[in-house]
Chain A
Amino acid sequence: GAVVSQHPSRVICKSGTSVKIECRSLDFQATTMFWYRQFPKQSLMLMATSNEGSKATYEQGVEKDKFLINHASLTLSTLTVTSAHPEDSSFYICSAPTRSTQYFGPGTRLTVL
């Protein structure tokens, strides 16, 4: 079946630094990818929709200047958390849709000290 990968799986950084998370569709092309955030023991909340060749679409309340999204190719989207702070610590999950369903990456655990 379709596979979506994320890198890194886990990252720890200092407050004020930037962190880049990659999301790749390994065996299919995705013109759209989605980025979700999940806080401990909570559900997934959509942050933004990544569009290949155009700007990302952000959900209400998500700062586009803080969470930079670049859909570099039909198989790669990146999320950069700029000037990270402890409150940005979370589990970030991407997904990529096919015609019939969505496939999720394994997630990236971000811890900001």
Chain B
Amino acid sequence: AQSVTQLDSQVPVFEEAPVELRCNYSSSVSVYLFWYVQYPNQGLQLLLKYLSGSTLVKGINGFEAEFNKSQTSFHLRKPSVHISDTAEYFCAVSWTGTASKLTFGTGTRLQVTL
């Protein structure tokens, strides 16, 4: 079965430290990959996406992610986090195109403290 896994439910990190949020997927076909951020009581905001081409994708707010086909991963990274990055982060996959329904991971709560 096709699925998306975010192994870390919570990631605590100090401000200005680097962070990596992990995302793995299972699929035998090509995929489109997304990272979304959700602030409390709000909808989802797109951070970045991988459709094709370069495996290193840069997004908003200083985030980037690398698509690794051999490891079926799409980990999200930021070299230096800020307090304002505290939020829930969701990895999502579409198997049938960018305009198709998304399957979400369970989410990772990034908690940035001083």
Contacts and interface: CB of A to CB of B under 8 A. Distances in A.
Interface of A: 4, 6, 32, 34, 42-46, 49, 91, 93, 95, 97-107, 109
A95 B44 CA distance: 9
Contacts of A93: 43-44
Interface residues of B, number: 21
A43 B106 contact: yes
Contact of A44 (B45, B51, B104): B104
B42 A106 contact: yes
A98 B44 CA distance: 16
Main secondary structure of the interface of B (DSSP, over half): loop
Nearest to A100: B98
Interface in B20-42: 34, 36, 41-42
Interface string B39-76: 00111111001010000000000000000000000000
Given A97-B99, A101-B34, A102-B46, 19 more contacts: A6-B43, A32-B99, A34-B101, A42-B107, A43-B90, A44-B104, A45-B104, A93-B43, A97-B98, A98-B98, A98-B99, A100-B98, A101-B98, A102-B34, A102-B98, A102-B99, A106-B42, A106-B43, A107-B43
Interface string B95-114: 00011111111110000000
Nearest to B51: A100
Contacts of A49: 101
